[in-house]
Structures are given as C-alpha cells and as structure tokens.
Amino acid sequence: MEFQVSARKWRPQKFAQMIGQEPIVRTLGNAIELDRVSHAYLFSGTRGVGKTTTARIFAKALNCQNLQGSEPCDECAHCLEIRQGNSLDVQEIDGASNNGVAEVRDLIENIQYSASSCKFRVYIIDEVHMLSKNAFNALLKTLEEPPPKVVFIFATTEQNKIPETILSRCQCFEFKPLTHKQIVQQLDQICKHDGIEMDRRSLEEIAKNGSGSMRDAQSLLDQVIAFCGSKVTPGAVESVLGIVGQGALENFIDRLIANDSAGLIDQVQEIANTGKDLTLFCRDLVEYIRNLMMVRVAKNPEKILDASTSDLKVLGRQSREMDPDQWHQMFTVLARTETEMKRSSLSRAVFEMALLRLADVRPFKNIDALISVINESEASESEPPLPVATPEKKSFANPETITAKVPDESQAVSPSKWSEIKREISDKKSYFAHYLTVCDLVELNDSVIHLRVSDPYTKELIEKEENISAIRAGVQTVCKRDVKVQLSLPSASDEKPSTDNKAEKKTLTGYNKKDKIAESEIIQEALEIFGGVVTR
C-alpha cells in the first residue's frame, strides 16, 4: 500500500471525528439541520488546527445525498468526489497563489452558473488574507449580492489582514490551538493503530513541539517513525528533532537548585556537543521557569500550563525548592541572557557566565531574613556571623553619601518593599527591568522616591514622562503613596573614593552599622542581585 503521511491519512472526514473546536462544529451542524446556512464563513486560527478540514466536512454536509442529522455519510457520490477533490461544485482555491483580481473575476464569472450536480457550490479560499486589495474589492460585490446556493468559506491564519468590509459580511469562527492533551491522544491513537511502540515521554515531546498544531505534530511523528522504525526508543525524539527534551530541562533546573555549577557547565557542554542550539535552550529555560512560577502561584496550574500530569508533579516539587523571589531573579537574568546571546558572537560564554551567576543566587534564600540575622548579631555585639570584607577594601558607596541621604527610621523602606516596587513596575513595563538594574534607591518617604541612576543615558530614558508615571504607579500600588520621582547621578565622590586625608577622616566619622552591613560581600552581592540599598 502506498505510504500516506499521517496528517492526510488521519484527516477527519466527519464532524464527529474532529478533535477540539466543539463549539464551531456544533454551530455549523445546527446551521445545516435548521437549514440556516450563511453564504460566507471565515475560519481563522493558527496553522494545523482544522480550518480546511472543517470547511471540507461542511461542504460534504451541504451536498451529501445521504445526510444523517448534520453528519455527511462520506460514502455517497458527492461525499467521495469532495473528499477526492474531484467535485466541480466544491472548489478549493489557494489565496496565496491566486491572489490577483483576474483570478477573482474568473471565479465570480463561474459563480453565475448553478451547481452541476450538487445542491450548493462551495468555494473554499485558503490563506484568504493573501488576496490583493483589488481582489477583495471584486469579491465584495459578490458577497453583497450573493447568488443563491453559493457558500464561501474563507480560511486564514491572519484575520487582522482581512478588510473590515469582508469580515462584516461573514460569519466568523476562531479556531483554538489544540491542547497538549488532545494532540497526545491523537498521536497515541495513530501509534497504536500503526503498531508503533513509543513511550509516553516521546509522545509528549512530539506534541509539545507541534505547538498546538495537529498537522505539525503529525509531521514530526512521521519524521521520528521514519528514523526509528516501529520501535521508538526514549531519547530518540530529541536527537531526531534536534531539541533539548523536557528531561534535560528538568535535570538542568535540579542542578541550578542544587547550586551545582560544575554539573551545569558539563550539561552545557553536552548540549553543545550534540549540535543543539544553546539560545533555544536558554529560551526553553525561561519558559520552564515561568511554568515553575505558575505552578507556585496559580490555583489550577493544570489549566494554565497545558502540561502533562507527570511534568506538573516535577514542576510542583522544583518550584517549592526556592522562593518566588529567587525564581523571579532567575527568570529575569535568563530572559536578558537570551537576548544577549542572540546579539553576541560568544553566545555560549554569555550563557555560561549567566549560569554561574545564577548558581550564586542560591545562598540568598531570603534577603530580609539575612539582614535581620546581621542586625541581631550587631545588637548583641557579637562578631558578624558572615565573612565580611576587610575594612581596607571597602569600595562600596561613600559612607558619607549614605549617611547624608539615608532617611531616618520612620522614612525607611525595606529592601523587600523596593524589590516589590521594582517587580510591580517591571510587570507593567517589561523593559523597565533593565533600567532598574542600574538604579539604586536612595530614599523613599511619603512625598518623594529618590533613585540614583548609574549612567546619564539611562537617566535620560527614565526621565520620559511615561516612565516617571510608571515608577509613581509602582510606588502607589505597593506603598499606597503618591510620590514625586527624583533622579540623580552618582556624584564624583561615589565613583572615585577620595584619597584625601581630610575626606577620609570625615568618612570615618560617618561610619556606622549600616556601612558595616553594606561592606559585607554577601550583602553587597545581594544588593546587586535584588537591587536595594541598606536602610537599617
């Protein structure tokens, strides 16, 4: 028997065989049963979700000689002709290659003749958004005064490119991407039917890479079967499709959680050795961490994530290993890293450095807890419990500036509040995350938020009205205060600690507990990661 690709072999021939799209199938079925067929339909949605298939079944149902309810028999002469693409009355036109006004005129001329043997003439125009403006205009006249017993079915992946005048004359249906579960079920059925042995993980991997398109998933399945034969071994899918599988992602995150820098770098080497794209892998990691956050915060993560039960279990376990703050931090760093990797000729090095930095996030379980530990130990006048930098090496902000600018206790804001404000702002305006990495909070009180921006260029960007509003809105949401925004650049003394004796003396006078805390290497790094200033 001739080999047929799965997508064709398994194309649904009846409404009942359709996967997903139930509301659309029901509405079309009702139109037939109630004899209320519109003269123009528009099916929109991403590729491989059943638009053309539905159009063909609908054309069969309109013309079937042996209709059962709204279901075509798929056996009568009309059904067979339509299925084989031989019907004179049901025509499929590719909008991408017949997009000129001449083609549309031809079509419209033909429409004047009544159907040769069928009840309805059906024109299925695929990729209709590719028609030229003039072609649409020619079509519009026909849609305004449609000849009897003619049905147009337009299909498009880009509804936004269809003129409003056409849309308003069509019944529009939006096809949803298929869910992971629906695709897995279908792939599983195909494998069982064709006697292909395949493990669950491989099935899920293929479904995931189909990105909601049944046709794409089925093509990938064909590709894998062509390579492996009737027995698909675990891991084969990854190597055939050139992807890094879910299992590898899980391992990677486990290593991040365990702070296993060496293991991470080994795994990067492994991935690079197999010729897989590290930038894509980084993107997958970003998505994975997003899923971890969702599992952590969402009430019904299974509804949001479209992941398998076993994946959800792993996500659930991993997400509890770290604070949401830490996941958020990883997300931000990796998302930025992916962008940097795309631009850099040293993308692998960029990735590795980011990973090493991320592995370091691990010790800072909770910045507030850490600071309070230090404060307590200071209060009991014991030695600092954490390794601190030697005083000679202090190069953090000039203590004088801190003393001068840090507000008194009543005005102080905790680093976690500032983190919260930053997150709030970045959530509303994602590009802001980058700006905020170069901002230090100097002061936040009832009337003013004062930020020190590390460079004049970024300061200028932040000074734009919309950005100022974004900062105010962030403070408003988190602290319930309406404040003015004050921006400053680091003063010269901040950048270059003075060697002048007098200045040194003055500096030492202003030296206090706060500065000691600020000196601690760990705190400094935490400040850098979470972007705060010491206020207590």
Where on the chain is the footprint of Zn ion (CB under 5 A)? Answer: 64, 66, 72-73, 76, 79
Q: How far is the CB of 78 from Zn ion (least distance, A)?
A: 6
Q: How far is the CB of 77 from Zn ion (least distance, A)?
A: 8
Give the pair of three-digit tokens for residue 264: 């991470």
Nearest residue (CB) to Zn ion, 11 versus 452: 11
Angle at 130 between CA 124 and CA 136, to 5 degrees: 75
Q: How far is the CB of 191 from Zn ion (least distance, A)?
A: 30
SS3 171: strand
297 contacts 324 by C-beta, under 8 angstroms:
yes
Q: How far is the CB of 90 from Zn ion (least distance, A)?
A: 12
CA–CA gap between residue 102 and residue 125 (Å, rounded): 15
Alpha helices in 195-277 (DSSP H): 200-209, 214-228, 236-241, 246-257, 261-273
CA–CA gap between residue 438 and residue 106 (Å, rounded): 63
Nearest residue (CB) to Zn ion, 89 versus 443: 89
Nearest residue (CB) to Zn ion, 14 versus 357: 14
**What residues have CB less than 8 Å from 235, skipping those under 6 apart?**
245, 247
Nearest residue (CB) to Zn ion, 25 versus 64: 64
Nearest residue (CB) to Zn ion, 73 versus 111: 73
CA–CA gap between residue 322 and residue 296 (Å, rounded): 10
Nearest residue (CB) to Zn ion, 61 versus 170: 61
Q: How far is the CB of 59 from Zn ion (least distance, A)?
A: 11
Query: Which among 332, 340, 339 has a CA at the least distance from the CA of 358?
Result: 332
Nearest residue (CB) to Zn ion, 73 versus 257: 73
Q: How far is the CB of 60 from Zn ion (least distance, A)?
A: 6
CA–CA gap between residue 458 and residue 467 (Å, rounded): 11
Q: Within 10 Å of residue 402's Cβ, how many Cβ atoms? A: 21
Query: Which among 279, 273, 293, 407 has a CA at the least distance from the CA of 340?
Result: 279
Q: How far is the CB of 175 from Zn ion (least distance, A)?
A: 24
Nearest residue (CB) to Zn ion, 66 versus 372: 66
406 contacts 514 by C-beta, under 8 angstroms:
yes
Q: How far is the CB of 152 from Zn ion (least distance, A)?
A: 21
Q: Which bin fits 45, alpha (ψ -120 to 50), beta or left (φ > 0)?
A: left
